[in-house]
Chains A and B, each alone.
Chain A
Amino acid sequence: EVQLVESGGGLVQPGGSLRLSCAASGFTFSSYWMSWVRQAPGKGLEWVANIKQDGSEKYYVDSVKGRFTISRDNAKNSLYLQMNSLRAEDTAVYYCAREVYYYDSSGYGQGGAFDIWGQGTMVTVSS
């Protein structure tokens, strides 16, 4: 079964740090871009960061640049998000998600989507 399982969430004080993990199974993890997506309580979805298959490219939403670091260990089929200098506005459920890229019959790219999601892990930043 294709599966993503997040862990590492919890309560942390403002300015603190937390490391999230995502364990992948049921597919060739090293073949996919991977992302973190978050959702603040009662709010919509926000893409946070992603990482290329070999870890050579990483991208972040502006609000977390310089504070969050995405990484992966393909030998362990695992994705990570190191979160430093946490703020109250980082409070959210954090999902890891697999990116899949689609191509038409001519081989022309049709963009990417998140086809597999974990169950999410809650991060609460509060004193």
Chain B
Amino acid sequence: DIQMTQSPSSLSASVGDRVTITCRASQSISSYLNWYQQKPGKAPKLLIYAASSLQSGVPSRFSGSGSGTDFTLTISSLQPEDFATYYCQQSYSTPPLFTFGPGTKVDIK
């Protein structure tokens, strides 16, 4: 089974900061990596698919990169509405099975 890890598990940042979150897969998953944002009490929201493609309607301050085993989600200038928990998720497995990372909580410094 493919395992996903994320770092850091939490971070504190200020509005306007550049924030980077890392996700690592236990084996190569090519670019089959997605990123989600979840706010308390709400369902997750898809931000990035296929490692670097921005989901429709998502602000351009969000970007993704990476391939193989190492991936990054970057928020170029943190906004108040971006304080949330972020999850990576792999979709490489066949048949279609999915694994999420443990999450990274971004809160206010």
Contacts and interface: CB of A to CB of B under 8 A. Distances in A.
Interface of A: 33, 35, 37, 44-47, 50, 57, 59, 61, 95, 99, 102, 104, 110-115, 117-120
Contacts of B99: 47
B66 to A, nearest CB: 13
Given A111-B92, A112-B96, 4 more contacts: A37-B44, A110-B49, A110-B50, A117-B43
Nearest to B48: A113
Which secondary structure dominates where chain B touches chain A?
loop
Contact of A114 (B44, B97, B101, B103): B44
A115 B46 contact: yes
B87 A95 contact: no
A46 B96 contact: no
A99 B41 CA distance: 22
A57 B95 contact: yes
Interface string B3-32: 000000000000000000000000000111
6 contacts: A45-B89, A46-B100, A111-B49, A112-B91, A113-B34, A120-B43
Closest 3 CB pairs of A and B: A111-B32, A111-B91, A117-B43
Interface in B75-98: 87, 89-92, 95-98
